[in-house]
Amino acid sequence: MKSEKVMSLIEILPETHGVEISIEYATANNFTDKPVYGRAGCYLHPEAEELLRVAVDLAGNLSLKIKIFDAFRPSEAQWVLWSHTPDPDFLADPKRGSPHSRGAAVDLTLIDAGGRELEMGTPFDAFTPLSHHGNQGVSVEAQRNRALLMGLMTTAGWDFYRNEWWHYQLFDARRLPVFSDSVLDKPMMPQE
């Protein structure tokens, strides 16, 4: 029987949340160069889902939309990523647990009315100092777009991670439990 915590993850869908979703870890378009998830899924803890709705509204007021690259990340996936690249500047050590594995973090960008991603200076998951907030080595346009994204997200109530322009999380996310893939009705991790 599933615990009450299981019911606390809310599925995020384009039709219910007004976002575009491109779960990169379900494809080879990520730093591991192979799919980590067997199924693309986008879930958030209820507190994070509420803040996402606020951010979506704020972006909509500027004729922009949010595109999500990753949200809930099963703890098993965090181990896969850490085993591939154990870099604490860009990945949470799975022994401590990632805010993603708590359903309390989202990786995202902004897209315009034509569906084009705004220039951010680096791709999602570029593990380089150029991905840091405030890095002046990226174009002025990218700096402006990062500041716009940060403004929208922090106004909506999110905390940011200084090394990744795309990563936002709940304040004090580590107070929430870490979830494994088993909490989902339909697993995201590849099935043997």
Sign of the torsion angle spanned by Cα atoms 33, 34, 37, 41: positive
Beta-strand runs (E) in 12-104: 20-21, 43-44, 65-70
Catalytic residue among 24, 49, 76, 164: 164
**What is the torsional sign of CA 105, 22, 38, 53?**
positive
| Distance, first Cα to last Cα, the chain | 23
Active site residue 11: no
Buried/exposed 55-86: b ≥16 CB within 10 Å, e otherwise: bbebbeeeebbbbbbbbbbbbbbbebbbeeee
Residue 177: what are its φ and ψ, rounded to 5°?
A: -75, 155
Q: What is the DSSP letter of 131?
A: G
Q: Closest by alpha carbon to 42, among 65, 64, 75, 20?
A: 20
Cβ–Cβ < 8 Å for 120, 109: yes
Catalytic residues: 164
